[in-house]
């Protein structure tokens, strides 16, 4: 099985987030799974790949040519797909992955998360999605989503397509193909 992890590539984030990324990657490898990720070695992106490799996982990166220097392409990747743009990157990651784990991140991570969530709701794929957020970074987002649901802007069944997890074991369990 291949699990995609969406997470931050931002500098200067808390060490706890870097450790989380490493440990999620490690847990993926410990399951005997492989990692699909954005192909960068900066910040959480780099840590999740290091963690996966530390426990024997293959790391399959997908990076747009224009971002190879910005996100610092991970030369240690088992395989690197170089694509033309972000839309192609997201489509390739969706195609390669069997499940998705979302870690703390900014607008890029949120864009990937929402696109994959909408795709599942619209039945373009049936792959499991888990948000792993042990420090509550996404608490305000959950509150906003609850507000949207209370105002009937979210459709029935949408919230249930994502497992919101506060630790790594629950996120791993949530993405297991049953």
**pLDDT score of 35:** 98
Please list, residue by residue across 118-155, b when 16 or more beta carbons sit within 10 angstroms of its beta carbon and e when fewer do.
Answer: ebbbeeeeebbbbbbbbeebbeeeeeebeeeeeeeeee
**pLDDT score of 7:** 97
**pLDDT score of 143:** 97
Tens of pLDDT along 73-122? 899 999 999 999 999 999 999 999 999 999 999 999 999 999 999 999 99
Residue 55 scores a pLDDT above 70? yes
Residue 167 scores a pLDDT above 90? yes
Residue 37 scores a pLDDT above 90? yes
Please report, for the domain that includes residue 145, its CATH number: 3.40.50.450
Residue 67 scores a pLDDT above 90? no
Report the percent of the chain where pLDDT is more than 70: 98
Identify each DSSP E strand in the chain by its residue range.
2-6, 34-37, 59-64, 79-83, 99-102, 129-132, 162-165
Q: What is this structure's pTM?
A: 0.96
Residue 68 scores a pLDDT above 90? no
d(CA 9, CA 162): 23
Across the beta sheet with 34-37, the strand order is: 79-83, 59-64, 34-37, 2-6, 99-102, 129-132, 162-165
User: What band does 71 get if pLDDT is binned at 50, 70 and 90?
Assistant: low
Range of the domain at 14: 2-175
Domain count for the chain = 1
Query: Who's near 89: CB < 8 A, 6+ residues apart?
Result: 38, 62, 63, 64, 83
Which of 160, 104, 97 minimizes the C-alpha distance to 132? 104
Tens of pLDDT along 128-150? 999 999 999 999 999 999 999 99
Which 3 state secondary structure label does DSSP give 164? strand
**pLDDT score of 33:** 98
């Amino acid at each position: 099985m291949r699990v995609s992890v969406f997470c931050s590539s931002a500098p200067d984030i808390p060490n706890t987030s870097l450790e989380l990324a490493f440990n999620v990657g490690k847990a993926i490898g410990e399951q005997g799974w492989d990692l699909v990720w954005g192909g960068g070695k900066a910040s959480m992106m780099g840590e999740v790949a290091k963690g996966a490799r530390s426990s024997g996982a293959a790391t399959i990166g997908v990076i747009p040519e224009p971002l190879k220097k910005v996100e610092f392409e991970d030369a240690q990747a088992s395989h690197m797909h170089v694509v033309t743009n972000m839309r192609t990157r997201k489509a390739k990651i969706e195609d390669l992955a069997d499940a998705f784990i979302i870690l703390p991140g900014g607008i890029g991570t949120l864009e990937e998360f929402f696109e994959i969530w909408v795709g599942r709701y619209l039945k373009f794929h049936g792959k499991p999605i888990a948000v792993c957020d042990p420090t509550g970074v996404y608490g305000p987002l959950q509150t906003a989503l609850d507000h949207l649901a209370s105002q009937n802007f979210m459709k029935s069944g949408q919230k249930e397509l994502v497992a919101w997890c506060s630790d790594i074991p629950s996120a791993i369990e949530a993405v297991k193909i049953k």
